[in-house]
Amino acid sequence: MYFDFKTSYNDDIRLIRRPLSGLFYAIAFGTALFSPLVISEFYITESSAIFVLGIIIIGYMISAGMAGLVGLGHAAFVGVGAYTHAILLGAGVPFLISIFSAIAVCALLGVMLAVISLRLSGLYLAISTLIFALAVEHILGSWETLTGGYEGILVPDPIIFGTSFASSINYYYLTLSALVSVIILAANLMRSLSGRALIGLRDSEQAAASLGINVLKTKSVAFALSGAVTGFGGALMSHQIFFITPEAFNMMLSLQIVLAAVIGGLGSITGALIGAVVIGWMPELISQIKALLPVSIRYQPGPDLVIYGAVLIGFVLFEPLGLYGRWKKIENWLLTFPLDRKATFAKTRTYMKSERV
């Protein structure tokens, strides 16, 4: 069971609810700000990748965590954002105009997806978004005159007002500032009227509609904001990849996004960041595990997907609230000690929302 202790109505609209939370975020930001001075270039590059992944997962959180619209196709938004940004940069469009254009295109794509999937939810919505992602990947590979097809296209260096951000340190600070901006945006969204409408939609569409919430408009806003933020992350990711192809935005990326959200904890910005860190370092962990396997199976295709799937199933079965949810249970236990009871924090049984058959 999940508890959120409050002492006043203002707790619902505060950007930072507890002083300790503010201290934690200040320490985390300070550490990220000065880390490049003491860590190697390898860790700088890995940290930049985690920052970009954090932006993408926060984008997924807006639709899946806040609005309850669980999908399996957010790799499509990442791909469209990356390709739009790369194509415009290649045509000589300035960086900022290019990246905002990518955000706008992905937002419109999100609205289109919302209209198509208006009457779908749960498993059926997940399948429709999966088909959507496969269709986008096919279009990116087939439209050779624009995207270069499966041969891919080169991404120009990021240059803002004459300053190049191609170096690892400059790109690190670019992605860090982008992540902080997205965190502030998402935190303010969660405490706004629009954010409350999204949460109402997640809990019950019928109840939300009876309270005067326009379900179609709210779904469109959820997918538009989610697509915009995810596309923003995709545009930044294109500079990390340097040379983009449709295969870079396949089902594996969608699975990583969903897995990161589940591991961290759906509906929480902190959970999204935790999931980004875990997923960001998981390929390195998997490579270490594969090094211990016999040579006959070490290089066989498929183990990565199996490991990702096993971790996802494990969290869904045994820790559905994610790592951040586990921390909240520990925090609430400390707040109620010694008045806590074992049954108070028993594992909550959760189900995926779906239509009646």
**The pair of three-digit structure tokens given for residue 61, joined into one six-digit string:** 């959180």
Contact present, 66 and 192 (Cβ < 8 Å):
no
Q: What is the pLDDT along the chain (357 residues), one digit of tens a residue?
A: 445 556 666 666 666 666 677 788 888 888 888 988 888 888 899 999 999 999 999 999 998 888 888 888 899 999 999 999 999 998 989 999 999 999 999 999 999 988 888 777 778 888 888 999 999 999 998 888 888 888 889 888 888 888 888 888 999 999 999 999 999 999 888 888 888 888 888 877 788 888 888 888 888 899 999 999 999 999 999 998 888 998 889 888 888 898 888 888 887 888 889 989 988 888 877 777 777 777 777 677 666 777 777 887 888 788 878 888 787 777 777 777 766 666 555 555 544 454 443
Nearest to 59 by CA among 237, 206, 302, 246: 237
Terminal CA-CA length for the chain? 29
Q: Using an 8 Å Cβ cutoff, are 62 and 226 in contact?
A: yes
Q: Yes or no: is domain 29-345 CATH 3.30.420?
A: no
Q: Which letter does DSSP use for residue 346 in this model?
A: P
Measure the CA–CA gap between 66 and 59, rounded to whole angstroms.
10
